Amino acid sequence: MNNENGHSLPESLLTLVIVFIIFGTLLPFYYQLETSLYKKKLSLHAAEAALYAAGNIVRFQKYQGNVEIDDVIYHWKGDETSICIRYSGIEEEQLCVETNT
């Protein structure tokens, strides 16, 4: 579809549409997916910090502290019945865990 002067108008428009689809839909979808996975990773690390905190409460009667995992600091406070973890990822969040007994 070349004319004497180069590419034709339909080829140029098709290229523009493809570029728009890539940057207009796929890139935001990728960013949202990456953000969602990062939040889940932080939540998993907060659960690991809660497990660490539970061990400190049971073994050493230490009821607050900090844990650093992957350059994120998780602040924890707890007692014999509950543990709360605060951390800053994309925004500041908190995870609280309570015992069933």
Alpha-carbon gap, residue 23 to 10, rounded angstroms: 20
Determine the 3-state secondary structure of 63 from DSSP: coil
pLDDT in tens, 55-101: 999 999 999 999 999 999 999 999 999 999 999 989 999 999 998 86
pTM beyond 0.85: the answer is no
pLDDT in tens, 75-88: 999 999 999 999 99
The pLDDT of residue 4: 66
Strands (E), the chain: 2-3, 6-7, 64-69, 72-78, 82-88, 92-98
